[in-house]
Amino acid sequence: MIRQRVRRLRDVLGTYRLTRRGLGFLAAGLALPVVGARADVGPFVHVGVLLVALVVCAAVHVAAGHARVAVTRSFRPEVADPGEPVVVTLAVRSTAVLPSLHVRWTDRVGSSLVADVHGVLDALGGSSRQVQVRYALRGTRRGRHAVGPLALEAGDPFGLVTRHRSTTHVDHVVVLPRRHALGDDDRAGRAESGATMPAPQHVGVGEDDVIARPYVPGDEVRRLHWKATAHRGQLMVRQEEQRVNPSVLVVLDASASAHDAQRDRQGSWEHSPTLEWAISACASLVEHLAGSGYVVHVESPGTPVQRVVGEGQDTVRDVLVDLALLEPADDTAPLTGAAGDVPVVAVLGRVDERSARTWARLAGRRSVALVAHGSPAAAVGVLHDRGWRCVPYRSSDDLRTLWHEHVEAAGAAR
């Protein structure tokens, strides 16, 4: 108990620092009484005591004006694209009786966030219980990034003593994966027997979904199609044809071994260029295919990423957030099974023969695999033998170029 109190007192005292002026005042305040006593100069003693008293009063003022501080932090937006400005609002609340007239603040952000996180607060404490500051940050890399804790440095009006305190409150902002536009309107809508599947842009039933059939007794009069009746010379009624959006399966290999992902000494995953490229490619494919009208099934074995975009289920945003938070997966993660008649686009890392045999079972009606450069030819051959078209990539390659030059030629869904 005593040790804990001593440690706590030491921690509190460690937050106080004398400025250069404060050190000078304290040194003079201690030296002048000694000189005054030896030289029998009474005013020296009085001035020395006054200087020491000023330093003590400054410390008391800082302590009273910076006793309890609460911080709340909000983001707009809370989920952002890479490079998109995020407005951070800091609300600093103090319950101190005396105001702190000069408080410097510094908000701690990670290396993947770019921001000017320094400033000076207005008078805090006393009648001003809460002050707000705003600053903008930008994310350069996908992920859930910590913002905070907030460090405060309060000083006294004479500039003698400062107190450094750091709050414990930490918030997080999510940065989505970088995406690449894959659309190309002059290539869309080709016949399925050609280079690509037709890109369906319809969703639901519209005017083009209505066909007419001859009237039969029992049909409602309100369903009469007058334009078709005039054209055919007989009563025709409306018959709505429900269109079914085709499906496509997008698979992401996020296994640690496939992307040479390793942990650092703190246990955090180090940056893997091929994994980041694969995640960006997966996000771009999902956004493009869903925007073209496909029902997109998204799966990354061994991770929480398992979504169905469309049909009133998940949204593209749900997938992007999942991919933003994705970490490398266990290499032993199983697959859910074969794709059957559904086209498959797989974004893989480096494959060996063992993993290639596993992925080969997932082959669908048309299967395209983006495979990281450096995969053995024998492993790629296993995929070829099962009907996969393999497209090699490097982490520096442009996804749009690969998509249009290689994937379309395989007859994959655009």
Question: Where exactly are the structural domains of the chain?
Answer: 14-175, 205-242, 247-410
pLDDT at 193 (0 to 100): 30
pTM higher than 0.85 for the full model?
A: no
pLDDT digits (tens, 9 = 90+) for 281-338: 999 999 999 998 899 999 999 899 999 998 788 999 999 999 999 999 876 556 665 5
Specify the CATH class of 14-175 in words. Answer: mainly beta
247-410 maps to CATH 1.10.150? no
How far is 258 from 123, CA to CA, in rounded Å? 55
For helices 377-385 and 353-360, the axis angle rounded to 10 degrees is 20
The beta-carbon contacts of 10-18 under 8 Å, at least 24 apart in sequence, are 15/163, 15/164, 15/165, 16/59, 16/62, 16/63, 16/161, 16/162, 16/163, 17/161, 17/162, 17/163, 17/164, 18/55, 18/160, 18/161
In our burial notation (b when 16+ CB lie closer than 10 A, e otherwise), range 289-323 reads: bbbbbbbbbbbbbbbebebbbbeeebebebbbbbb
How far is 124 from 65, CA to CA, in rounded Å? 8
Give CA 79 to chain center in angstroms. Answer: 6
pLDDT at 9 (0 to 100): 64
pLDDT at 202 (0 to 100): 40
pLDDT at 190 (0 to 100): 33
Instruction: Find residue 146's DSSP bridge partners.
Output: 172
Please report which helix (H) or strand (E) contains residue 309, including its range.
strand 306-309
pLDDT tens sequence for the chain (414 residues): 677 776 776 766 677 889 899 899 999 989 988 888 888 888 888 898 999 999 998 888 887 766 677 889 999 999 999 999 999 999 988 777 666 667 889 999 988 999 999 998 876 665 557 888 999 999 999 999 999 999 988 888 888 988 888 888 899 999 999 999 987 543 333 333 333 444 444 433 334 445 677 877 777 777 788 888 887 888 888 765 555 678 999 999 999 999 999 988 888 899 999 999 999 999 999 999 999 889 999 999 989 999 999 878 899 999 999 999 999 987 655 666 555 678 999 999 999 999 999 898 888 778 899 999 999 999 999 999 998 999 999 999 999 999 888 766 545 444
For helices 20-39 and 42-65, the axis angle rounded to 10 degrees is 150
